[in-house]
Structure 1
């Protein structure tokens, strides 16, 4: 038994030691004053969205076409899954905090608004060029080979769906100087009145698109309040968590809002597209929980391995977000060569599909890793030459970049 243990140690020891060494270097290179909880919250928010999409988005092979479906349509009692993985509110909370803090720092250093905004938007949109170009070429090739128009529309829409989020986030980022003192109750009041007119008074459905800005402005301005120090105590977190949870439960139970916090194909109302009052109150609860977890996350991030993993996710946040749907579709398309595979091409209408889909998650991760390897330079820049310091170490020590891990997205 001891010989086997020594064999395992000799096999895995060197790689694990290299990982630990790299993690310690990243940990040592991180400024002491850095709030690692902010990076951890962003990483969890991004990974939550990715995992949520992989679990609730199905591409069903129906004859010669592919169509989208959701297990939440066939099994609505699975709605709590969407509560765990619809984490965009936390992303906007962190984004508002980082943007307002970064803008204040830029002003103190004499950096103009135009230069500050240009640097942020460049980091945000540079990775977009690659995914848009690839899918423009892919759509042209599919048309040339006679693929069904419905299939092409489904694939392109799914691949480019993350872009709506970036456009909203970019608009809020550009408006940051105007939002630094805005009370979150103002955009919340807008969402409340829009839904009241839409659902209570029979107003036009297009009015709901006002919530696309107002709805995400609520957590974004909460992030600005965090920067101002107004959310430092635990009381604020508990008020947001309890108030948001009670309000959401009431809206679902008595006001007819869907229980699912993501869009469900075929549903009359989507909580996310555009955001409804229920989605916003649910986001308030999530933001409250995030604020309450800050101290625990700071303690957890003192571990070099945990911090290194969070730092690396943040360095590739946009690449992961933009390419995770492509990874899903690439796996689905490749799997068609073997026929209709359970959990990949079949209708998500029972728990068997759920179990099969969970088994496919490692394959999606591998496919996303391939996409990351091919396209990460659009976000991180070119690979370092031999003898230069690690990219993670460089960005942590760079006063100019304020660490891309923090300011990315």
Structure 2
């Protein structure tokens, strides 16, 4: 079995265009897996009087806030997304591809997988309501299952704006975030004002990705400035400006750094982006190993499936265990460290259920059973696609 895995890994390695920057794919894989693991660690479905409600260990154990610093990796995903989209758009322009064709191709990769998720959860929700399941429980499950869609809407909007973002200085959206927070927290503006940051906040790392494409972030100094400056600014905002230490939403908290993004979430993202840029060369060296590259290629090819279905995997595992519950770390309140230890033991079960979701839906989401890989392609196909043989998606 081990020899077979190695042979497959070597074939994938040999089929990869030689000019491809594998560090970009590695960063995307880290970002996706960080979000998945973060949700699995801080999202609890508590069985309470015949109902299921969401809870978080961060509600009861605020000292665990550093967990959110490790697994809130959305800024890295937007950084890579901005870099790849601006590079792809420039290539499309050079080849004479119309903007609407380029955009349609990119958005279809995002939204085609959503149809399967919506169909399944429409059926599940209908079945639960007809069976007499408590409406609050149904709402909780549906909201959790569909929560990844907000990300796709924002990412799609930024993708559509790529031609405008291509020359945008990231300081402009950062200034918008700063002023919105001043209005919200300094001058008592209505909370709805904060939703401006849903676009402006994620535009900061996305436009950083465009700057990366332009070659403005190639020097190590740029990575260090972002990493040190973003980290210091976040620490100052948390310590002296009253921003929450958690970089994810905490149920019941008066302020969330993520819903909508605050200045602290954006500066934290800048620090993450700086670290990502500093790690590029090390990642390139690591990705020369066939096994490591094969794993990263798999995650990239399955990124949408993993992202869209990871919450469903968590809920399916939780529901399967209900007849045997309440099980520690699965149905019990996340109010002590013992729950955290038990939750870690459930992660392989979540991963197994996600694997079943992948087996069920990935063929449909990839388009056709023998769809050509967009990460690993034949050298001839890669050379036809671009002169450098190194196009990213």
Does the alignment reach a TM-score above 0.5?
Answer: yes
Rounded Cα–Cα distance in structure 1 between residues aligned with 2:106 and 2:375: 18
Q: Which structure 2 residues correspond to residues 207-356 of structure 1 after superposition, within 5 A?
A: 207-356=193-342
1:120 to 106, 112, 117: 106
Aligned twin of 1:16: 2
Per the normalisation by structure 2, the TM-score is 0.96
2:357 counterpart of 1:371: yes
Aligned twin of 1:100: 86
Q: 1:57-114: CA deviations, max 9, x gaps?
A: 0000001100000000000000000000000000000000000000001111111111
Contact 1:384 1:391 in 2 (8 A): no
Aligned twin of 2:46: 60
Tell me: CA distance 1:287–1:224, structure 2 relative to 1, closer, same or farther (3 Å): same
Rounded Cα–Cα distance in structure 1 between residues aligned with 2:101 and 2:370: 26
Rounded Cα–Cα distance in structure 2 between residues aligned with 1:405 and 1:138: 39
Rounded Cα–Cα distance in structure 2 between residues aligned with 1:315 and 1:369: 14
Aligned twin of 1:358: 344
Contact 2:306 2:358 in 1 (8 A): yes
Aligned twin of 1:43: 29
Aligned twin of 2:161: 175
Rounded Cα–Cα distance in structure 1 between residues aligned with 2:242 and 2:373: 53
1:110 to 96, 101, 113: 96
Secondary structure of the residue that 2:252 maps to in structure 1? coil
Contact 2:16 2:378 in 1 (8 A): no
Rounded Cα–Cα distance in structure 2 between residues aligned with 1:345 and 1:396: 50
Q: Which moved more, 1:398-407 or 1:280-289?
A: 398-407
Tell me: CA distance 1:62–1:302, structure 2 relative to 1, closer, same or farther (3 Å): same
Rounded Cα–Cα distance in structure 2 between residues aligned with 1:161 and 1:401: 35
Q: Which structure 2 residues correspond to residues 25-40 of structure 1 after superposition, within 5 A?
A: 25-40=11-26
Name segments (4+ residues, structure 1) moved above 6 Å. Answer: 389-392, 400-405
**CA RMSD in angstroms, aligned pairs only:** 1.7
Q: Name structure 1 gaps, 5 residues minimum.
A: 1-14
The Cα of 1:394 is off from its aligned counterpart by 4.1
Contact 2:21 2:390 in 1 (8 A): no
Contact 2:316 2:353 in 1 (8 A): yes
Contact 2:237 2:264 in 1 (8 A): yes
Q: 1:294-326: CA deviations, max 9, x gaps?
A: 000000000000001000100000000000000
Tell me: CA distance 1:404–1:135, structure 2 relative to 1, closer, same or farther (3 Å): farther
Per the normalisation by structure 1, the TM-score is 0.93
The Cα of 1:381 is off from its aligned counterpart by 2.5
Rounded Cα–Cα distance in structure 2 between residues aligned with 1:44 and 1:276: 23
Contact 1:43 1:313 in 2 (8 A): yes
The Cα of 1:393 is off from its aligned counterpart by 4.6
Aligned twin of 1:132: 118
Contact 1:39 1:405 in 2 (8 A): no
Contact 1:240 1:285 in 2 (8 A): yes
Contact 2:244 2:257 in 1 (8 A): yes
2:157 counterpart of 1:150: no
Contact 1:395 1:401 in 2 (8 A): no
Rounded Cα–Cα distance in structure 1 between residues aligned with 2:43 and 2:352: 18
Aligned pairs, how many? 390
The Cα of 1:32 is off from its aligned counterpart by 1.1
Secondary structure of the residue that 1:67 maps to in structure 2? strand
The Cα of 1:206 is off from its aligned counterpart by 0.2
Rounded Cα–Cα distance in structure 1 between residues aligned with 2:167 and 2:374: 35
